[in-house]
Structure 1
C-alpha cells in the first residue's frame, strides 16, 4: 500500500526522534512525533571560561566604505566617522580602542576618538538598532526581540510560527532571527521538522532578503541563531551565507567564549560594518569558522518550547552550566507557549495562538513582561533575547517591543505591526484540522507495520 508523502515524512520523524530528545532547535518545538527509540544526539557541550581560546581579529585590517542614499559611512581600525544627511550626528571611533558616539545639530562639529568636540552639547541623535542610547552600549547589554522560527510564515499552517515575512519583521524592530535548517540533496533548506510539513525555501534566499534590508539600514546590527536540525558540518552553511551577500558584514569575535564584557559596542560594530552576528546551536567549529559562533559557549537558554505558562527562568541549555558562567554570558528567554497534542502514537507541540494576547503581553500572569522581570530579578540583568511566536500579536500591537524597551530602559514609541490577535485564532482552528488529519494518517501507517 502506498501512502501520501507527508504521512511518510511524519513516519520518518517518528522513527528517528526520541520524545525526550533536544534537537538543534530542540525537537520539542513545532511539530514532533514521539516514540521510545533512543538516538544519539550532540551533548550540547560548551567552552568554559577557564579554557578561553583567543582568535585573530579578522576585522583589524579591514577598511569598509559604503554609501547609502545621501549619507556616507567610512570605517577603519583606527578612526571612523559617519556623517549623515540629516546634519544631526557624528559617530566617531573604531579599532580596538573605545568607540565614542558624539554629535550635535551642526555638520561643522568636529570630534575625535577621545570623545571631545568643539561644539556642545554632546548629544547623539543617530539611532543604533532604533535607539540612540544603544550606540554606546555593548552588544551584550541590550535586550532584543527574537522571532522564533522566523521564516515559517504560512497561512492556516499548524507548522507556522510567524504571520509576517522577515523584511516586515526587521522593519518592525526585530533584530534577532532564529530558524531551523535541513540539509537536503546538498542544499540548505528552511523546513519545520520535515520539508513535507512546511518548506520555507532555501537558507540562501532567506538570507538574501535580510542582506537587502541590512544594506538599506546601515545602522542596524542583526543576529542570526541557527538551529542545525540535521547536525551537519558547519562548512555546509558557508556557501549560502556568503552567496546571500552578507559575507563582508559578518562579525568575528575575538575569543571563545565571549564573556559579557568582551563584546564591542553597537557603534563599534556599525562603524566597522561588521554587524551580522551568527550563532549555531550544534556542530559549530570556531577553530575553522570563528565567525560561526557556538551558541552555547556564548548564550544559554531557558526551557525551550514550554507548555508551562509560568515560563520558569531557569537555565536549561547547555546542560551543566555553572551559575558563575551563566551570569557571565548572554542568555535567551524562550517565551513561546505551546499546546501538547497526544493522539495515539503521535505527540505534537503546536503554538498556542489562542493565548497570544496574554503570552505576548506586557503585564499579567504568563506574560512576556512578567517573565522578563522575573529573569531580571533572578539573574541580576535582563535577558538578551526574547524569543517569541507571532511577535505582532499581544495585548496591543507592539507589546513585545514595549517589554524589550522596558528592559533596555528606553521609550518605545513606534507604530507596530500587524493585525488584532483575534484573527489568528482562525489559523489555529484551521491548523488543528490539519493536525488531526495527519494524526489519523500516521496512525494508519503505524498500524500497517
Structure 2
C-alpha cells in the first residue's frame, strides 16, 4: 500500500509536466495494468445478424414494469403537454431529421413556437435523441478533491446543472458481499461510494428537472452479469425514467425526439458497456449495439475519429449508429511497477477549447468530415476547464447549430491551468518519483 501511495504521489506531480502530442513516462517493473475499462479475453461484443423487437409493454425488466407514470406530467403547476394553448409546448422548431446531413438544415414550414427548452434548448424538443451532440463527463463520480485519480472537479448535481447530459463511470464489486462501488481502476485508488447512492442523486435531479433527458453509461469493469445492475437502478428509483427502445440495435432515425421522451417520462437512457442482455432487461441498453467509440483514454492529441470499440465493425453499420468521441487526453505513466493513465492537466485549456490543435472543436470538425455528422457525445475530463468557462458546451452548441450562453457555466468555481504550473511542481516530480523508486529497491 505504501508503494502505491508513493507512486501515486509521483504520478500526481508528473501530470503537470507534459506537453508533447503523445507522452509516455517510463520506469522499471511496469507490471500492473491501469486500464480505464474492462479488458481481457473474457469480453465479447454481441453481433446482431437481425434486428430484435423488444418487449416494451410487459414482462420482467421492461420499462413499463417500473413505477407507472401519467402521460401528462405536472410539476410546479406546469403541465408538459401539447393539447392546450395555455400549456407548455414541446414541439420545437422544425428541423431536418435526416442524420446523415448533419445538424444545420432547417425547415421553412410553419410550426408552433416552443416556450419550454428541452435539455436547455427549445430547438431540441422536436429533434431526435440521435440528432443532438451532448457533453459527457468522463468518470463523472470521480470528483474527489485531492485525489489524482479524479477526472472531474465538480459533483454530479453541478455537472447536470451546467449542461452535462451523459454520465460515464466504472462500476466495481470488490467481493461477493460488497455493494456495487464507483471506483477508478481500483477501490484502493479512488472510491466514490455506492452505485445506488449515485443513481439516487441522478434520479433526484431528474425529479427536479422534468424537461431534461440524461444518459447514464456504466462501465462493467468486473464483467458481472447484467442482473447485478438492476437492483441499484430500482432501489434508486431511476427505473421510473428508464427508456426502453423498440428494437436492438437501434438505427439512427428510429430514436424518439426529446419531446417524446419527456412527455412519456422515459428520460433516462441507461447503458452497460459489457454483458448487457436487452432481451432479458430491455431498458438496460447494450452500449455497443447502439453506440461505437473512438479510441478510449487517448494519449494522441490528434484524436483520430476511427471506430475503436466494438472492434472490426463495418463502416456501413457504424454509419447508422450513435457514437461517442473520447476527448479526454491522458498521460501514460509507467513507474515503480505501476502503469496508469492520468489526465493531461496542463493541456486542459487547449484540449477543451473551441479551436486550435488538439481542441474539442477541431475534433468535432474532423469527426464530422469523416462521418458526415458530429459525435453524439463529446466525453471530456474536467468539463469546467477550457479556453473559457464552458468552452466544451460551446463546441456542442456549434455542432448543434444553436447559441450557447457563456454565462451559464460552470458551478461555483473555474480552474485555469497554464504552463507556469509545471515549473512549480517540477521539483515535486523528481522527489516523489525518486522516493517511489527507492522504496522498490529496498
TM-score by length of 1: 0.79
Structure 2 match to 1:330: 322
The one-character-per-residue Cα deviations of 1:44-93 (angstroms, maximum 9, x if unpaired) are x1333x421111223679652543212134xxxxxx54779xx57323xx
Q: 1:359 to 1:371 in 2, by over 3 A?
A: same
Q: Which position in structure 2 is the counterpart of 1:223? A: 215
Deviations 1:240-275 (A, max 9, x none): 111111111100111110110111111110000001
CA contact (8 A) 2:250 2:321 kept: yes
SS in 2 for 1:198: strand
Which residue of the partner structure matches residue 42 of structure 2? 41
State the number of aligned residues: 394
TM-fit CA distance, 1:168? 0.4
C-alpha contact (below 8 Å) 1:284/1:292 kept by paired residues: yes
C-alpha distance after superposition, 1:413-445 (max 9, x if no partner)? 142113142389869988996998599658856
Q: 1:186 aligns with which of 168, 178, 187?
A: 178
> Larger deviation: 327-336 or 435-444?
435-444
- C-alpha distance in structure 2 between counterparts of 1:336 and 1:148, whole Å: 7
Q: Does 1:396 align with 2:410?
A: no
Deviations, residues 315-352 of structure 1 (Å, cap 9, x unaligned) = 10000100000000000000001112221432221101
8 Å Cα contact 1:9-1:194 kept in structure 2? no
**Equivalent pair of 1:88/1:125 in contact (CA under 8 Å):** no
Where does 1:30-429 land on structure 2 (aligned, <5 Å)?
Answer: 40-43=41-44, 45-48=45-48, 50-58=49-57, 63-64=69-70, 66-73=73-80, 81=82, 89-91=88-90, 100=91, 122-184=112-174, 185-414=177-406, 415-417=408-410, 418-422=413-417
The separation in 2 between residues aligned to 1:431 and 1:227, in whole angstroms, is 34
Shift of 1:144: 0.4
Structure 1 CA distance for aligned equivalents of residues 224 and 371 of structure 2: 33
Structure 2 gaps of 5+ residues are: 9-28, 58-62, 95-109
**CA distance in 2 between partners of 1:397 and 1:256 (Å):** 38
Cα 1:348–1:384, aligned 2, differ >3 Å: closer, same or farther? same
Q: In 2, distance between residues paired with 1:290 and 1:133?
A: 29
Per the alignment, in what secondary structure is the counterpart of residue 383 of structure 1?
coil
Counterpart Cα distance in 1 of 2:423 and 2:320: 39
> Which secondary structure does the structure 1 equivalent of 2:237 belong to?
helix
Distance in 2 of aligned mates of 1:212 and 1:350? 31
Change (3 A) 1:299 1:121: closer
Q: Secondary structure at the match of 2:187?
A: coil
Mark the runs of 5 or more structure 1 residues left unpaired by the alignment: 27-38, 74-79, 92-99, 104-119
Residues in 1 aligned to 2:183 and 2:424: alpha-carbon distance in whole angstroms:
22
In structure 2, relative to structure 1, the CA distance for the partners of 1:218 and 1:22 (3 Å cut) is closer
Distance 1:341 1:272, change over 3 A: same
With normalisation by structure 2, the TM-score equals 0.81
Q: 2:430 and 2:242 mapped to 1: Cα distance?
A: 39
Higher normalized contact order (CA 8 Å, seq sep 6+, divided by chain length): 2
Partner SS state of residue 169, structure 2: strand
CA contact (8 A) 2:6 2:435 kept: no
